[in-house]
Chains A and B, each alone.
Chain A
Amino acid sequence: EAQVTQNPRYLITVTGKKLTVTCSQNMNHEYMSWYRQDPGLGLRQIYYSMNVEVTDKGDVPEGYKVSRKEKRNFPLILESPSPNQTSLYFCASSSSGSADTQYFGPGTRLTVL
């Protein structure tokens, strides 16, 4: 089944404790991206990747890192999480870019205390 998977689905952590949210897709998609969704603000892009070893900032990259060492995986790293990063995070992929149909993962609900 074609899908985007994220882990963990739920995470409660404390300020400053490094964490990684994994994202994997099995559709051989070149384009992957991370969004955060907050009440009243909608979906905002954090980072995106056009292909392996090619990443770039989205609208709200501060406090986040990403890497794309393999085509299927695009982890989101929070090296020193803060409470304002409490949010619902989505990973998405598409065949070749934002112009194609986007496939979203199920989301990761992160709470930073």
Chain B
Amino acid sequence: KQEVTQIPAALSVPEGENLVLNCSFTDSAIYNLQWFRQDPGKGLTSLLLIQSSQREQTSGRLNASLDKSSGRSTLYIAASQPGDSATYLCAVFSPYGNNRLAFGKGNQVVVIP
């Protein structure tokens, strides 16, 4: 069974610093990995989707890398802003099981003005 881990569970950074969030998964046989953002009391918003054949994806200030062989992904957020405060979730889709995503429990981020 695929296990997805995100450490640390919570972190605070001063505004302007770069954010680095880590996600690890136990089985490297994946189809893709997705990063989501969740604001308090709200649904999830997809940020980036990396296919298993890709090494990274970029969108604006966001960059996500994937190292499938070591079971790791990193989400970089450049020049953090208070509006980046949210919980970031990593999810992995594997080619077995009931066609579902395995989610990590998230990194809760606070950007301090």
Contact = CB atoms under 8 A, between A and B. Distances in A.
Nearest to B31: A99
A104 B99 contact: no
Interface of B: 31-32, 34, 36, 41-46, 49, 89, 91, 93, 98-101, 103-106
B100 A45 contact: yes
A57 interface: yes
Contact of B42 (A4, A48, A100, A106): A106
Nearest to A107: B43
Given A106-B43, A107-B43, A101 B99 contact: no
A48 B99 CA distance: 9
A101 B36 CA distance: 10
B100 A59 contact: yes
A101 B101 CA distance: 11
B106 A42 contact: yes
B46 A107 contact: no
Nearest to A109: B41
A107 B105 CA distance: 17
B73 to A, nearest CB: 16
Interface residues of A, number: 28
Given A44-B103, A99-B93, A101-B46, 7 more contacts: A40-B105, A48-B98, A48-B99, A90-B43, A102-B91, A104-B45, A105-B43
Nearest to A92: B44
A100 B31 CA distance: 10
B41 A102 contact: no
Contacts of B34: 101-102
A4 B44 CA distance: 11
B89 A43 contact: yes
A103 interface: yes
Specify which of A42, A48, A58 lies most central, judged by the most chain B CB atoms within 10 Å of its CB: A42
Contacts of B49: 100-101
B100 A33 contact: yes
Contacts of A102: 34, 36, 44, 46, 91, 101
